[in-house]
A and B are shown apart, each in its own frame.
Chain A
Amino acid sequence: MNELTDLDRAIYEWQLDVPGFGEKGQRILRNSTALVSRCGGLGGPICQSLAAAGFGKIIIAHAGNLRLDDLNRQILMRHDDVGKPRAASAKATLEAFNPNVEVEAIDENITEANAADLVSKADVVFGAAPLFEERFLMNRECVRQGKPLIDSAMYNLEGRIITIVPGESACLACLYPEIPPNWKRRFPVIGAVSALAAQIGVMEGIKLLAGLGTANANKMIYFDSASMRFQTIALKRNPECEVCGGA
């Protein structure tokens, strides 16, 4: 395990003061790799907070080029990036923000062909894709490889975060046993709502890795920012789940 450098201690000085975190927690993050599926409205703030927290490496998987209508929420992008690959733009922003974090930009979404390999390189996985097909692939691979998955999602002014610890908690397929037929790729979104869901998800990941606080495995954190109502919902594993078998 890599030890903290003097530069690490200087950058994360205020973070090291967090009770229960300290140098041990920082060292864990320093030696951890996070895979983030998509770096848009949700994944972008996730990546930024992972970089700020001092993760050793962030792998971003996101295909395609930036569009003008991405800019209300994709905070790692710049106006000048329109027409350029999103993943490369996110990598440039993150490296400028924290040069001590290694960022690998993959100009692909999560697919059947790359899911197993990408998940194998990560200590924790963050799901932020707008399609259930990608989320389900990551869920399957995380369960198979025993990797924690933080699956965050939003719609309109609402968000929900599910922390999945394989073997301990309900997986995504326990909750959604089929591709939801009515989910549409386009959804109403204000960037701050995505960012709110992102930050809760990042904290779940940090807590899981660093043993800080209480991770919300087997629970869903739901919020409605219209009223700022937050709710923690107890989830149940499905013993007939085709992915985790409830086992």
Chain B
Amino acid sequence: MEITVQYTGQLAGLTGETDESIDVDSGTALPALITQLCTRHGGKYADLLVNAEGNLRPSTLVILDGEQAAGSPSDIVLDGVKTVMLMTPIAGG
């Protein structure tokens, strides 16, 4: 199934894109999507999103179809989700 991944903040700056489409298998959970994206974009992108253990940084907000995802990322299965918005924290003024 196809999911639109939206980027904001520093992620958008790094990718040069505000969104991209990505194919995932049915039953894919959020960490697998994040791994897939980090493999695709590598380096600084991965460092923004995940920590040294490869886990999603807790200060990254994940918005699924307009609503903040909560709970353990591994419990978040993306079936039926159309848009995953990744918001790295910003504090500019």
On A, residues with C-beta under 8 Å from B are 38, 40-43, 128-132, 135, 152-156, 158, 160, 175-183, 187-189, 194, 220, 222, 224, 226-227, 231-236, 238
Contact = CB atoms under 8 A, between A and B. Distances in A.
B35 interface: no
A179 B47 CA distance: 15
Interface stretch (B23-31, B57-65, B74-82): B57-65
B61 A238 contact: no
Interface of B: 8-10, 12-13, 18, 47-48, 57-59, 61, 63, 66-68, 70, 85, 87-93
Contacts of A234: 66-68
Contacts of A175: 59, 61, 68
A156 B93 contact: no
Contact of A233 (B9, B47, B57, B68): B68
Contact of B9 (A132, A156, A231, A236): A156
B70 A238 contact: yes
Given A156-B12, A178-B59, A233 B66 contact: yes
B91 A183 contact: yes
Contacts of A233: 63, 66-68, 85
A182 B9 CA distance: 11
A120 to B, nearest CB: 23
B12 A194 contact: no
Contacts, number: 94
Nearest to A152: B93
The residue among B8, B59, B88, B90 with the most chain A CB atoms within 10 A of its own CB is B90
A220 B9 CA distance: 15
Nearest to B70: A236
Given A175-B61, A234-B67, A182 B48 contact: yes
A43 B8 contact: no
Nearest to B90: A155
Contacts of A189: 92
B93 A40 contact: yes
Contacts of A176: 58-59, 89
